[in-house]
Structure 1
Amino acid sequence: MLSLDFLAGFTIFLLALIMVVSMVPGLLAGLESSGIDYDAVAYRTGVILVEDPGWPVNPPWEQYGRDHKDEIQRMGLAVSKDTPNILLSTKVERFFENASTEDPFFTEDDYHNKVIFGDYPYSYNISLSSGNDLWQTGDPLPPGYGYIRRVVKIKEPSVAEINESISSAYTIDPSAPEWQNSTARNFTVRLDFGHLLDPTVSPAYRIDPRIEPVNVTITNFDAYLNNTSYDSATLKNVTFWKRDTTKPGADPAPIPFPYGTVDSDLYTLNVNGTQALHSLKPEVSVNSSISLVLKPSATSLLPLDQNSILDIRFNFEDDPPHTNITGIHHYDYNMTNVTCTDLKTGVLEVAIW
């Protein structure tokens, strides 16, 4: 009887031991080397950054200010979900904005909650290099960490440069009857959203004022002066006008805008190459150049859609007129009208530990 009891007990003990041993690997799975886990988190973070445009999309998250930062759910850098590995420069600038200052736009919690995700308080270092440009945020790298590197392209905004080579196309005859008694001259840059937002154009090469700046630069302005007796002309104001293409024959209507307020978050206006910023009612003398950058945050304030045409009017006024500039410059895909910068190659690196 003793031998049978011993044999039965020993058998039960062996079965229990086998069951415990078989369960141990599962119990210790979370205690294995953390390198694989960190690599996975780094990979996931890299995917979010280079393959996702972020959320919200319209208006895009990079246009949200500090007061609405909590509404941002993800901070992806891709131009769109259809263009993986192609990043938008405005998203890149916002993502790394003031990262090295004492009051950065995004905090560590923002990067944890909107890019890295997960309950574990990971440390991170995220960098993007392209040529001589380097953007970086996060902590210094430790001896060991999870890591991912992605080769990317960066889409820069287009630029319309109006210079002396096309001055004759925008210069009027001041002796014409319709200009005899007028002291005003205006020059228009036209954006046809129906043409610009053509769905057949890849988002990687599309001119989209909703997500990237509109950059208009007039150089060698002296080529547009009335005659050699004038060395400058007065830029009175810059105004916005809208036309609805669904209403043929309708006149363009002025768009209300804080024209008299200098707001670099909405636009920048520089005259004669100086760094001083002007409002859209500058009333300043122009002798060499004008540079207007209309930012997406400003475009989002204008009631524009795919049926809209936006006119940006540069209005000059002197008595007698000092300039003969007039006409319409189309901001479109014609390379003589707008210069579209080639996609720049960059390297995104994500380190997690």
Structure 2
Amino acid sequence: MSLDFLAGFTIFMLALIMVVSMVPGLLAGLESSGIDYDAVAYRTGVILVEDPGWPVYPPWEMNDLAHKGEIERIGLAVSKETPNILLSTKVKKFFEEGFFDQSDYRNKAIFGDIPYSYNFSLNISHPDASYELKQTGNPLPPGYGYIRRVVKIKEPAVAVIGSDSRYNDTTLNSSILRTFTVQLNFNELLDPERGPAYRIDPRTEPVNVTITDFGAYLPANDEATLQSVTFWKMDPTRPIPQFTRIPFSYDTEDSDLYILLLDEESCNLKPEKEVANTISLVLKPAATSLFTLDQNSILDIRFVFDDSPDPQRTTLNGTYLYDYDNVPLSPLKPGVLEVAIW
């Protein structure tokens, strides 16, 4: 009798344990929807502020509407090594009106099983104490799940070249072409010891070169003729390294690849146009990705001035190093990203 009781009691306890272990699963569907929305908002926030998105090189934000389908994941981080530090070019594309539609945000940022409604907002604080609000999505309902993340925004570096005696060469023969070179040494720029948040990376950020006081290099003239802007590359690790001209559509304007402004007027890279005050070039990552550059490469951007058969009118000449000594990095801007899901 005692053995029968012991066996029965054991079976009863095992059955009781199984039932108790199953109860939480049976009640899982009764949990509040707000907790689920909070979880989706949290997951979406992690994707946006801790992931750079895909593709990475060239970065997804360089795709135009015709190639929007190639974007697999929308992330705003500078890199995976820099959580909560966002790249301004990614932020601009993310909030650009008319580029992404609701299905894009749901399929490439939220990754939900159901068509969630959403609202994304980013409040950016500027050094002058002003605020900038970027927002996209639906109006907020009375109840929703949300997450807030404190972030910082990285702006691309800009090389501003004013009047500088190093590039004001008055010793050249007047018949010799003036060539002003902006040189990027990728081995120095992509130094792994420098954190991605404080790195100049032409693979993911535009290269900005602005000559603000071109008139200082026109000692006896009102303007000079910019013949061309060409790109050259060299790999110093190869035997007998030398610069070779990069094949490119120099005579075709393409704002997805570059923007060249002469006295605020847009031109192609073979303008043969007179300029008096400012020269500005923005070379975008979509262009540098076509140059097959690696960490060992050196890239030259050459501005060639030619007023022949007349004597050269400008004294601008020499090589400007696009590096951490000459190109200042902008301070990171603080901000708050809020993701709301319902």
What secondary structure, in the 3-state scheme, does the structure 2 residue paired with 1:341 have? Answer: coil
Q: Any conservation in 1 of the 2:151–2:334 contact (CA below 8 Å)?
A: yes
Cα distance change on mapping 1:282 and 1:133 into 2, 3 Å: farther
**Match for residue 255 of structure 1 among 246, 249, 255:** 246
State the shift of 1:180 in Å. 4.7
Q: Deviations over 1:158-204 (max 9, x none)?
A: 0111101x2x1002124x4xx2532x211000000111111111000
* Alpha-carbon distance between aligned partners in 1 of 2:159 and 2:20, rounded to the nearest angstrom: 72
The residue number in structure 2 matching 1:117 is: 111
What secondary structure, in the 3-state scheme, does the structure 2 residue paired with 1:264 have? Answer: coil
Letter aligned with residue 168 of structure 2: T
* Alpha-carbon distance between aligned partners in 2 of 1:325 and 1:127, rounded to the nearest angstrom: 46
* Alpha-carbon distance between aligned partners in 2 of 1:287 and 1:205, rounded to the nearest angstrom: 34
Letter aligned with residue 281 of structure 1: K
Return 263-272 or 130-139, whichever deviates more.
130-139
What secondary structure, in the 3-state scheme, does the structure 1 residue paired with 2:29 have? Answer: helix
State the shift of 1:283 in Å. 1.8
The residue number in structure 2 matching 1:147 is: 146
Letter aligned with residue 43 of structure 2: R
* Alpha-carbon distance between aligned partners in 2 of 1:237 and 1:55, rounded to the nearest angstrom: 35
* Alpha-carbon distance between aligned partners in 1 of 2:283 and 2:41, rounded to the nearest angstrom: 36
What secondary structure, in the 3-state scheme, does the structure 1 residue paired with 2:122 have? Answer: strand
* Alpha-carbon distance between aligned partners in 2 of 1:249 and 1:23, rounded to the nearest angstrom: 73
Letter aligned with residue 244 of structure 1: D
1:346 aligned to 2:335? yes
Return 258-267 or 203-212, whichever deviates more.
258-267
* Alpha-carbon distance between aligned partners in 2 of 1:146 and 1:271, rounded to the nearest angstrom: 50
**Match for residue 269 of structure 1 among 260, 274, 278:** 260
State the shift of 1:90 in Å. 1.4
Letter aligned with residue 341 of structure 1: S
**Match for residue 175 of structure 2 among 177, 181, 188:** 181
The residue number in structure 1 matching 2:208 is: 215
Q: Deviations over 1:79-115 (max 9, x none)?
A: 11111000111111121122xxxxx221211111111
The residue number in structure 2 matching 1:55 is: 54
Return 123-132 or 243-252, whichever deviates more.
243-252
What secondary structure, in the 3-state scheme, does the structure 2 residue paired with 1:305 have? Answer: coil
Q: Any conservation in 1 of the 2:45–2:339 contact (CA below 8 Å)?
A: yes
State the shift of 1:247 in Å. 2.7
Q: Which ranges of structure 2 fall in alignment gaps of 5 or more residues?
A: 1-14, 126-130
Letter aligned with residue 271 of structure 2: P
TM-score (normalizing by structure 2): 0.88
The residue number in structure 2 matching 1:206 is: 199
What secondary structure, in the 3-state scheme, does the structure 2 residue paired with 1:130 have? Answer: strand
What secondary structure, in the 3-state scheme, does the structure 1 residue paired with 2:267 have? Answer: coil
The residue number in structure 2 matching 1:79 is: 78
The residue number in structure 2 matching 1:172 is: 169
Q: Deviations over 1:316-349 (max 9, x none)?
A: 1111111011000000010xx1121011111101
TM-score (normalizing by structure 1): 0.86
Identity over aligned residues, as a percent? 67
* Alpha-carbon distance between aligned partners in 2 of 1:105 and 1:118, rounded to the nearest angstrom: 20
* Alpha-carbon distance between aligned partners in 1 of 2:298 and 2:170, rounded to the nearest angstrom: 27
Q: Any conservation in 1 of the 2:59–2:204 contact (CA below 8 Å)?
A: yes
State the shift of 1:314 in Å. 0.8
The residue number in structure 2 matching 1:43 is: 42
What secondary structure, in the 3-state scheme, does the structure 2 residue paired with 1:300 have? Answer: helix
Q: Any conservation in 1 of the 2:182–2:322 contact (CA below 8 Å)?
A: yes
State the shift of 1:67 in Å. 3.5
Cα distance change on mapping 1:33 and 1:180 into 2, 3 Å: closer
Letter aligned with residue 269 of structure 1: L
* Alpha-carbon distance between aligned partners in 2 of 1:163 and 1:29, rounded to the nearest angstrom: 66
1:90 aligned to 2:102? no
* Alpha-carbon distance between aligned partners in 1 of 2:226 and 2:197, rounded to the nearest angstrom: 35
1:325 aligned to 2:319? no
The residue number in structure 2 matching 1:138 is: 137
Root mean square deviation of aligned Cα: 2.1
The residue number in structure 2 matching 1:196 is: 189
The residue number in structure 2 matching 1:162 is: 161
Q: Which ranges of structure 1 fall in alignment gaps of 5 or more residues?
A: 1-15, 99-103
The residue number in structure 2 matching 1:8 is: none
What secondary structure, in the 3-state scheme, does the structure 2 residue paired with 1:172 have? Answer: coil
Q: Deviations over 1:40-65 (max 9, x none)?
A: 11111101100111122233222233
What secondary structure, in the 3-state scheme, does the structure 2 residue paired with 1:114 have? Answer: helix
The residue number in structure 2 matching 1:12 is: none
State the shift of 1:68 in Å. 3.3
